[in-house]
């Protein structure tokens, strides 16, 4: 392995939910020469925290657009590793499709080109479990493995863009760079990421608040993995260490890894209830309408959206992909990451649940205070 001091790392999406955790771990544990933080927006509190953590590591903040080719090329000059977490996550069908495809796919391609141009030998991509599906209610996948090669069959912008971007990243592994070094890449596929600051968890909580603090149940028997954000961040650090080891990189390069942890597999609604029940949230009664009927309603809405597309952008309230994602049996093992990267979840389920629940309590208190202020 190269001496740690010779490593400098660019983290894209560094101001985001996952990116900021990765930066914290890099600052706390890796002793790098420089960390470059790339994102469009950073909160002042986050920048202050990073400056207090930096110690001997140079921290460079780069505010800009990943679609700006010259900006990205300059960001990659003189660095030895990239951790690419920047992404647009969108479950919709029409409204932001072109934007999502552009950022997630073209942005990744521009970053890869910049790395090749600047002879950056290590590239780690934050993918998603959605590149594997699910594609059918009938196909139950439990403890899925990387060698089973599941692949997304949906045209929705998010899973499609992540799948294409991941393929581009893995395809350049082994490429000879200008300075004579070899480029090594890998991709991490996290499950549904939760934890303090999760916008998607907050979105589900707000929906439940509108429904008298009740979560709408998923299809009976549906289960999925949820993974704590701190454990996903730790997996990225281990991937960086592995790819910087010239011997390990030969076997790890070009590979993808599912990242889950010891959070008990359960339906999304059951999970949301589990982390919020301390604050009075409830789980609703069983759905009376068959999921297959809801699926065909979603199909009709998608057809209407498609036919209206030339004259009007209609975004259906739900679509088949999100129905499939939240109502299937779809879980994956982290055994390959454990074997190749030495990955073990750092944060237990009990600790992760406690931290997440405490954060929810703070968010609910802030919401109540805000409502008081508005009505007073």
pLDDT class for 2, splitting at 50, 70, 90? very low
Coil, strand or helix at 215: strand
Q: Is the dihedral of CA 7, 10, 15, 21 positive or negative?
A: negative
Give pLDDT, residue 48: 85
- Output the CA–CA distances (angstroms, integers) from residue 373 to 279, 365, 366, 368, in the order listed: 21, 12, 11, 9
Phi and psi dihedrals of 162, rounded to 5?
A: -70, -40
Give pLDDT, residue 5: 42
pLDDT surpassing 60 at residue 375: no
How do the residues of the chain divide into helix, strand and coil, expressed in percent and rounded to 5?
A: 50, 15, 35
Q: pTM of the entire structure?
A: 0.94
Structure tokens at 103: 């950022």
49 C-beta neighbours (distance < 10 Å), count: 15
CA dihedral of 10, 11, 15, 20, whole degrees rounded to 10? -120
pLDDT class for 87, splitting at 50, 70, 90? very high
**Angle at the Cα of 253 (from 249 to 254), degrees rounded to 5?**
175
Coil, strand or helix at 223: strand
Strands 184-190 and 122-126, bridge-based pairing: parallel
Domain formed by 4-195+225-262, architecture: 3-Layer(aba) Sandwich (3.40)
Give pLDDT, residue 94: 66
**Spatial distance between the Cα atoms of 123 and 114, rounded to a whole number of angstroms:** 11
Least confident of 71-75, 185-189, 306-310, 318-322: 306-310
pLDDT surpassing 90 at residue 22: yes
Structure tokens at 312: 């009007």
Give pLDDT, residue 199: 93
Helices 268-276, 349-375: axis angle to 10 degrees equals 70
Helices 157-171, 107-117: axis angle to 10 degrees equals 20
**Angle at the Cα of 156 (from 193 to 123), degrees rounded to 5?**
55
DSSP-derived letter for residue 280 is T
pLDDT class for 369, splitting at 50, 70, 90? low
Domain boundaries, given as residue ranges, for the chain: 4-195+225-262
Chain-wide mean pLDDT for the chain?
Answer: 92
User: Beta-strand (E) ranges in the chain?
Assistant: 8-12, 34-39, 58-63, 81-84, 122-126, 141-144, 184-190, 192-194, 214-215, 223-224, 226-228, 255-259, 282-283, 329-332
> Among all chains, which residue has been given the structure tokens 């921290």?
59
pLDDT class for 106, splitting at 50, 70, 90? very high
Q: By percentage, how much of the chain surpasses pLDDT 70?
A: 95
Give pLDDT, residue 4: 43
Q: Report, as residue numbers or ranges, the catalytic residues.
A: 158
Phi and psi dihedrals of 344, rounded to 5?
A: -135, 135
pLDDT class for 324, splitting at 50, 70, 90? very high
CB contact at 8 A, 58 and 30: no
């Amino acid at each position: 392995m190269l001496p740690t001091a010779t490593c400098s790392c660019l983290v894209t999406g560094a101001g985001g939910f996952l990116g900021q955790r990765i930066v914290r771990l890099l600052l706390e544990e890796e002793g790098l020469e420089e960390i470059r933080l790339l994102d469009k927006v950073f909160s002042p509190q986050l920048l202050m925290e990073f400056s207090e953590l930096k110690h001997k590591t140079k921290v460079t903040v780069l505010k800009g657009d990943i679609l700006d080719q010259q900006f990205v090329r300059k960001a990659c000059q003189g660095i030895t590793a990239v951790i690419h977490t920047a992404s647009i996550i969108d479950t919709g069908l029409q409204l932001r499709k072109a934007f999502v495809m552009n950022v997630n796919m073209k942005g990744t391609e521009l970053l890869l080109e910049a790395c090749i141009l600047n002879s950056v030998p290590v590239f780690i991509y934050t993918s998603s479990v959605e590149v594997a599906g699910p594609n059918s209610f009938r196909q139950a996948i439990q403890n899925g493995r990387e060698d089973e090669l599941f692949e997304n069959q949906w045209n929705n912008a998010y899973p499609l863009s992540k799948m294409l971007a991941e393929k581009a990243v893995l395809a350049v592994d082994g490429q000879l760079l200008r300075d004579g070094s070899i480029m090594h890449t890998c991709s991490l596929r996290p499950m549904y990421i939760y934890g303090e600051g999760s916008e998607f968890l907050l979105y589900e909580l707000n929906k439940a608040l509108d429904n008298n603090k009740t979560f709408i149940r998923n299809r009976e028997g549906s289960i999925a993995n949820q993974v704590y954000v701190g454990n996903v961040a730790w997996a990225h650090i281990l991937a960086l260490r592995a790819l910087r080891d010239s011997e390990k990189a030969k076997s790890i390069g070009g590979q993808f890894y599912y990242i889950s942890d010891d959070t008990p597999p359960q339906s999304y609604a059951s999970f949301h209830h589990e982390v919020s029940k301390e604050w009075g949230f409830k789980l609703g009664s069983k759905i009376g309408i068959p999921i297959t009927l809801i699926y065909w309603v979603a199909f009709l809405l998608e057809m209407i959206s498609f036919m209206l597309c030339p004259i009007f952008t209609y975004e259906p309230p739900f679509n088949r992909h999100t129905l499939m994602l939240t109502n299937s049996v779809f879980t994956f093992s982290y055994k390959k990451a454990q074997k190749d990267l030495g990955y073990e979840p750092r944060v237990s389920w009990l600790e992760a649940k406690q931290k997440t629940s405490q954060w929810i309590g703070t968010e609910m208190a802030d919401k109540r205070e805000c409502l008081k202020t508005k009505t007073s």
